[in-house]
Chains A and B, each alone.
Chain A
Amino acid sequence: QVTLKESGPALVKPTETLTLTCTFSGFSLSTSGVRVSWIRQPPGKALEWLARIDWDDDKFYSTSLKTRLTISKDTSKNQVVLTMTNMDPVDTATYYCARIGKLGTDFDYWGQGTLVTVSS
């Protein structure tokens, strides 16, 4: 059974760095072909893809946000970590981690999401 769960602060201040952790079970990021992504959704708005990390430690980032994002993995803990620097109120959103499907082109399992509010 595949599960993912996001954790991190519910509130961050402008200019601070956000660190989110995705803890998963039912698969391993040391297995060839496994990939995990982060996706966010501002309240009442559409989904936005942020970053992806692969089993072989390849990393890919949203073009518009890549200067602010870092994705990493801890295979022994079954965790993926996303950091986003210089947070702004427009970054207020629910942040989801999701496993990427076998073709590498879609998201087949999602976490429940964690709401992050950016406010002073």
Chain B
Amino acid sequence: DIQMTQSPSTLSASVGDRVTITCRASQSISSWVAWYQQKPGKAPKLLIYKASSLESGVPSRFSGSGSGTEFTLTISSLQPDDFATYYCQQYNSYLYSFGQGTKLEIK
């Protein structure tokens, strides 16, 4: 099975900062990566699919890139509502797996 290694596990940043979260896949998965935002006590919310496609209704400050084994989620200018936990997720051969999560905290 494909493992997703997400880093960092915790990230401290300030409103207005540009932040990047990285996921590495244990083998090539083309562009089949999605990114989610999760707030405490809530279900995850899809932000990015197919590595770089922005889900409808998601602010344009969120962007994704990468292919093969390395993928990134970037938030261009942090807003107060963005402090949450972020997960990457891969798809390959009818199986799915998630990264361990990155908790984005206020500095």
Contacts and interface: CB of A to CB of B under 8 A. Distances in A.
Interface string A23-47: 0000000000000010000000011
A49 B98 contact: yes
Contact of A47 (B44, B46, B91): B44
Contact of B44 (A101, A104, A107): A107
State the majority secondary structure of interface residues on A: loop
Given A48-B98, A110-B44, A105 B91 contact: yes
Nearest to B100: A46
Interface of B: 1, 32, 34, 36, 42-46, 49-50, 55, 87, 89, 91, 94-101
Contacts, number: 60
Interface of A: 37, 46-49, 52, 60, 62-64, 96, 98, 101, 103-108, 110-113
Contacts of A111: 43
Contacts of A46: 87, 98-101
A103 B43 contact: no
Contact of A107 (B32, B46, B50): B46
Given A47-B101, A106-B50, A107-B89, 9 more contacts: A46-B87, A47-B98, A49-B89, A49-B96, A49-B98, A60-B94, A105-B91, A108-B49, A110-B45
